Chain A
Amino acid sequence: MNRIVIGRYIPGNSFLYRMDPRTKLIAMILLMVGVFLIQSFLHMFVALALVTLILVFGRLSVKRVYLGLRPLVFLLMFTFLFQVLFNRQGELLYSLALHYTILNLSLAFMVVLLWGFTKRFIRFRLLYFLGAVVGIFALLHSISFGVVLGEGTFAVYEQGLSTAFFIMVRLIIIITLSTILTITTKPTDLNLGLESILRPLRVLRINAEEIAMIIAISLRYIPTLLEEANKIMLAQASRGVDFQEGKLKDKVIQVVSLLVPMFIISFQRSDDLANAMEARSFVPGQERTRLHILRWSKLDTVALACTSLALAGVVLLRVVGW
């Protein structure tokens, strides 16, 4: 659990921590929009470098953010492969003839099985997976004798490759930006900032305070409910539920024996909480005083100016068409 970096606040004291949560939220959105407008490789690399600079100057460990990206490696790889394989526009860069014969299809199947069984013993799983994929392609290409079921080609096109690159770098930048936000901002501050930003929506009869309250309460109750779930799991385990093993039918009962009590507990908790809030004179929609008040500083103005400039620059580049 401790390795998950996304969504976790890590105490520190760089300029990123001193910024107002509102600034950070707005800056993040501006930068994200900017990243989507970029269209050339060079500019993309510049953007990546800028984000890395923010990390360095904000004294956040690059390694830590990289670790946060790790759970998403699979998603990134998937989008990359998907684009490369199925986007067939632009110039043809590379093609490989594939033969589907009974022999090599069954060999490929065996490679998949072998990979499935041995992957848990290998340290560099990603590399191992790539090796397996390359191996399958090599198999399909080189063995062409026997009963041939069909022919195909593996082709890489220019457009496919560049789209894949853009999507991947954009995703990396977006995730890094949001990780910066959550690492440097306490959930409560983030919530306060969100509430403050959403306040103008009152014109549309959307109550930002309520939304913020809902978010705050859900964040607050995640650990509590996890703890309750753990208790119930132990209680059911002592009634002979083996959460580690069991057939499919047993699994269903295991889940039900956990979920039903969890539902009941959540409803009870929310009922209790509602009563406790009312007992302290909480009235939805009513004006409230605050313990923490957000303060706008010079730093925020500078930060916002910089990000606005960056966005303006990107827009300009796009309009001019460099």
Chain B
Amino acid sequence: MAIKFERVSFQYRGVDDKGYLALADINLSIAAQGEFITLIGETGSGKSTLAQHMNALLAPTEGRVHIFGVKLTSDKKKNRKQRLNPIRQRVGLVFQFPEYQLFEETVLKDIIFGPKNFGVPHEEALERAKKMIQIVGLDESYLERSPFNLSGGEKKRVSIAGILAMEPEILILDEPTSGLDPMGRNALLKVFYDIHEKLGKTVMIITHDMDTVYEYAKRVLVLREGALVYDGEPPGLFSRKHVEDWNLELPEILRIQRALEERFGIRLEKNPTSRKELIEALGEVVM
């Protein structure tokens, strides 16, 4: 297992030493390859805190986190003795609103900033930048532009390209599609899915969008008030009980499928997860 959480709790320290428990007793393991995970939960449920533990930006206040053989505990001195920087290359974390981290004069310089920090030679970093800018759906002409003259969506893509160029083994994205139009959102999700499918990498996406969860995820984690309440496949998540208890919104496709069953008595052979599959399944029934 590449990342392993053992009974991890994390407490933010408050002003009067009254802590705020952001993570409570979390056990979790994530493989270095082949996983596509979505992490959902209400605002303030500890999603971002959990993500920051995964690339050693935060260390647990209780329990242990293992990341590629490095062990993090509440012992700050011991944590500091280990080299944490290599972990951050292997586990790439794209923050929420990554557009704020841009600071270089050109898009190119900003994309190669990460790789060069991790010792990638200049030539190779340039090549990666050219490749990644296309992967996130922009073309090479963007490389010479100033990152501050781009639109919000373009900035977001550029900053994601900057993380991709580090070639992390595990990619974690904190609400990568917020603020994008539906077209841009789908295109970007496709990019992440391709990274997972073609390169076999593990991708974890924090999201509020149940359609993303249902269509793409092979595994879904649900956080509620810092506790991990669900860790399994998406179809199991949307059972009536969970939906009611956790106040979940049903994915579009599932809503349609259930409506078809209830109103028209149409039972589909298998559970579709995307529009395409739904139309195909419906076609089989109608034909």
Residues of A within 8 A of B (CB): 2, 228, 231-232, 234-242, 244, 256-257, 259-261, 264-265
Docked pose: A244 CA to B162 CA in angstroms:
22
Residue of chain B at shortest CB distance from A234 = B57
B100 touches A235 (CB 8 A): yes
Name A238's contact: one of B80, B92, B100, B102 (CB within 8 Å): B92
A240 touches B166 (CB 8 A): yes
Residue of chain A at shortest CB distance from B100 = A261
In the complex, what's the smallest C-beta–C-beta distance from B124 to chain A, in angstroms? Answer: 15
In the complex, what's the smallest C-beta–C-beta distance from B206 to chain A, in angstroms? Answer: 14
- List residues of B (163-177) whose CB comes within 8 Å of A's CBs: 163, 166
Chain B residues with CB under 8 Å of A2's CB are 15
Residues of B within 8 A of A (CB): 15, 52, 55, 57, 80, 85, 88-89, 92-93, 95, 98, 100-103, 113-114, 117-118, 148, 162-163, 166
Chain B residues with CB under 8 Å of A259's CB are 103
Residue of chain B at shortest CB distance from A240 = B117
Docked pose: A297 CA to B52 CA in angstroms:
53
Name A239's contact: one of B52, B80, B114 (CB within 8 Å): B114
Name A232's contact: one of B101, B113, B117, B163 (CB within 8 Å): B101
A256 touches B117 (CB 8 A): no
Chain A residues with CB under 8 Å of B162's CB are 239
Docked pose: A239 CA to B100 CA in angstroms:
13
Chain A at the B interface: SS class: helix
B95 touches A238 (CB 8 A): yes
Chain B at the A interface: SS class: helix
A-B contact count, CB below 8 Å? 55
Chain B residues with CB under 8 Å of A265's CB are 100
Interface pairs (30), CB distance under 8 Å? A234-B52, A234-B57, A234-B95, A235-B95, A235-B98, A235-B100, A235-B101, A237-B57, A238-B55, A238-B57, A238-B88, A239-B88, A239-B101, A239-B113, A239-B114, A239-B117, A239-B162, A239-B166, A240-B118, A240-B166, A242-B85, A242-B117, A256-B103, A257-B101, A257-B103, A257-B113, A261-B101, A261-B103, A264-B100, A265-B100
Docked pose: A257 CA to B113 CA in angstroms:
10
In the complex, what's the smallest C-beta–C-beta distance from B169 to chain A, in angstroms? Answer: 14
Chain A residues with CB under 8 Å of B163's CB are 238-239
Chain A residues with CB under 8 Å of B55's CB are 238
In the complex, what's the smallest C-beta–C-beta distance from B249 to chain A, in angstroms? Answer: 28
In the complex, what's the smallest C-beta–C-beta distance from A97 to chain B, in angstroms? Answer: 48
In the complex, what's the smallest C-beta–C-beta distance from A272 to chain B, in angstroms? Answer: 14
Docked pose: A265 CA to B148 CA in angstroms:
12
Chain A residues with CB under 8 Å of B114's CB are 239-240
Residue of chain B at shortest CB distance from A265 = B100
10 closest A-B pairs by beta carbon, nearest first, are: A240-B117, A260-B103, A239-B114, A235-B101, A238-B93, A235-B95, A240-B118, A234-B57, A257-B103, A261-B100
Docked pose: A240 CA to B92 CA in angstroms:
10
In the complex, what's the smallest C-beta–C-beta distance from B232 to chain A, in angstroms? Answer: 28
Docked pose: A265 CA to B113 CA in angstroms:
20
Q: A2-B15, A231-B95, A231-B100 are in contact. Are A241 and B117 (CB under 8 A)?
A: yes
Chain A residues with CB under 8 Å of B95's CB are 231, 234-235, 238
In the complex, what's the smallest C-beta–C-beta distance from A245 to chain B, in angstroms? Answer: 9
Given A234-B52, A240-B166, 14 other A-B residues pairs in contact with their CB atoms under 8 A: A234-B57, A235-B95, A235-B100, A239-B114, A239-B162, A239-B163, A240-B85, A240-B118, A241-B117, A244-B80, A256-B103, A260-B103, A261-B100, A261-B101
In the complex, what's the smallest C-beta–C-beta distance from A61 to chain B, in angstroms? Answer: 16
In the complex, what's the smallest C-beta–C-beta distance from A91 to chain B, in angstroms? Answer: 53
Residue of chain B at shortest CB distance from A250 = B117
Docked pose: A231 CA to B57 CA in angstroms:
11
Docked pose: A264 CA to B147 CA in angstroms:
12
Residue of chain B at shortest CB distance from A242 = B85
Chain B residues with CB under 8 Å of A238's CB are 55, 57, 88, 92-93, 95, 163
Docked pose: A239 CA to B120 CA in angstroms:
13
In the complex, what's the smallest C-beta–C-beta distance from A271 to chain B, in angstroms? Answer: 14
In the complex, what's the smallest C-beta–C-beta distance from B96 to chain A, in angstroms? Answer: 9
Q: A234-B57, A239-B162, A239-B163 are in contact. Are A261 and B102 (CB under 8 A)?
A: yes
In the complex, what's the smallest C-beta–C-beta distance from B134 to chain A, in angstroms? Answer: 20
Docked pose: A218 CA to B98 CA in angstroms:
26
Docked pose: A238 CA to B53 CA in angstroms:
11
Chain A residues with CB under 8 Å of B102's CB are 261
Chain B residues with CB under 8 Å of A256's CB are 103
Residue of chain B at shortest CB distance from A236 = B101
B148 touches A264 (CB 8 A): yes
Residue of chain B at shortest CB distance from A238 = B93
Residue of chain A at shortest CB distance from B16 = A2
Chain A residues with CB under 8 Å of B118's CB are 240
In the complex, what's the smallest C-beta–C-beta distance from B217 to chain A, in angstroms? Answer: 23
In the complex, what's the smallest C-beta–C-beta distance from A269 to chain B, in angstroms? Answer: 11
Chain B residues with CB under 8 Å of A257's CB are 101, 103, 113
Chain B residues with CB under 8 Å of A237's CB are 57, 88
In the complex, what's the smallest C-beta–C-beta distance from A227 to chain B, in angstroms? Answer: 12
Chain A residues with CB under 8 Å of B148's CB are 264
Chain A residues with CB under 8 Å of B52's CB are 234
In the complex, what's the smallest C-beta–C-beta distance from A179 to chain B, in angstroms? Answer: 19
Docked pose: A242 CA to B92 CA in angstroms:
15
Residue of chain A at shortest CB distance from B115 = A240
Docked pose: A240 CA to B98 CA in angstroms:
15
Chain B residues with CB under 8 Å of A244's CB are 80
- Candidate in B15, B80, B103, B163 with the most chain A CB atoms within 10 angstroms: B103
